A = this chain, B = another copy of it.
Amino acid sequence: MAEREVDRSVSQTVKAQLALRDQILDGSLRPGERISELQAVETTGASRTPVRMALVRLEEEGLLEAIPSGGFMVKAFSERDISDSIELRGTLEGLAARFAAERGVSARELEPLKECLAAIDELLRQVPISIEAFSSYVTLNARFHAQLTELSRSPPLIRQIDRASALPFASPSGFVMAQSALPEAQQILIIGQEHHRVVIDAIENREGARAEAVMREHARLAVRNLRLALRNRTHLDLLPALALIKTATD
């Protein structure tokens, strides 16, 4: 019953959306169960109108599913669903990279990407990589992908990539923290960084096919991480949205 006074500047709808998303991702709201609007009103502090707005937005975001008879339930995802979502994002990022390469990008525009690249290089120099470094990697990697997407200068494509990356496990840095526990962690980061380096080089040289291919392969690396993290059950809890994943053990 504390902190009922949540920042007046953000709308109740946004507050409800954030609160509900947290509840979904941490498993408070379980897949398959209908979400009670009354209960959501209780837990979020907003009234029913903004709560319902938030539910609609979360449905579009892909976390909820409309029930034909009314209301919404939390969606469940199979391992295949997740890997397909990652490959989907990779395909779109590949298209963005190809557009950037084919349409041309000035040195100015590439500058921030190269800074990102250098910063990640710096991070990877330390052996072994600390947990803090993993955390910084997540930030820098997200920035790199966002900037790369922007290079396409295609609003419709940027929009779709953002939507595809909205699912926590499909986002570019989704599994980085989960992989930090793996023995292969460092190698994987190094390989990923090589992909980053190649895509910049390809864009610079206007090699569209190469830029596209490497981003696709980059996503496949993420799929591999997913598999490894799911198999290596010791640090399963680092997986984002673990509660939404349909496992055979359930």
Residues of A within 8 A of B (CB): 49, 52-53, 56-57, 60, 62, 80-81, 84-85, 87-88, 91-92, 95, 99, 154-157, 159-160, 163-164, 170
**Choice from B85, B92, B155, B160 contacting A156 with Cβ under 8 Å:** B85
A157→B88 contact, CB < 8 A:
yes
A91→B92 contact, CB < 8 A:
yes
A250 vs B206: C-alpha distance when bound (angstroms): 34
Q: Give the distance to chain B from A165, nearest Cβ to Cβ, in Å.
A: 12
A52 vs B85: C-alpha distance when bound (angstroms): 30
**Choice from B52, B56, B60, B160 contacting A160 with Cβ under 8 Å:** B160
A91→B88 contact, CB < 8 A:
no
**A170: chain B residues within 8 A (beta carbon):** 156
**Choice from B56, B95, B159 contacting A53 with Cβ under 8 Å:** B56
B155→A160 contact, CB < 8 A:
no
A56-B57, A91-B91, A95-B87 given; A160·B164 CB < 8 A: yes
Residue among A60, A87, A157, A160 with the highest chain B CB neighbour number at 10 A: A160
A91-B91, A95-B88 given; A155·B81 CB < 8 A: yes
**A91: chain B residues within 8 A (beta carbon):** 91-92, 95
**A80: chain B residues within 8 A (beta carbon):** 154
A160→B53 contact, CB < 8 A:
no
A148 vs B99: C-alpha distance when bound (angstroms): 26
**A156: chain B residues within 8 A (beta carbon):** 62, 81, 84-85, 88, 170
A60→B60 contact, CB < 8 A:
yes
**A60: chain B residues within 8 A (beta carbon):** 57, 60
Q: Give the distance to chain B from A248, nearest Cβ to Cβ, in Å.
A: 18
A163 vs B88: C-alpha distance when bound (angstroms): 13
A53 vs B49: C-alpha distance when bound (angstroms): 10
**Choice from B81, B85, B87, B160 contacting A88 with Cβ under 8 Å:** B160
For the complex with contacts A53-B56, A56-B57, A160-B160, 18 further pairs of A-B residues with Cβ separation under 8 Å are A49-B49, A52-B53, A56-B56, A62-B156, A81-B155, A81-B156, A84-B99, A84-B154, A85-B156, A88-B95, A88-B156, A88-B160, A91-B91, A91-B95, A156-B170, A160-B163, A160-B164, A163-B163
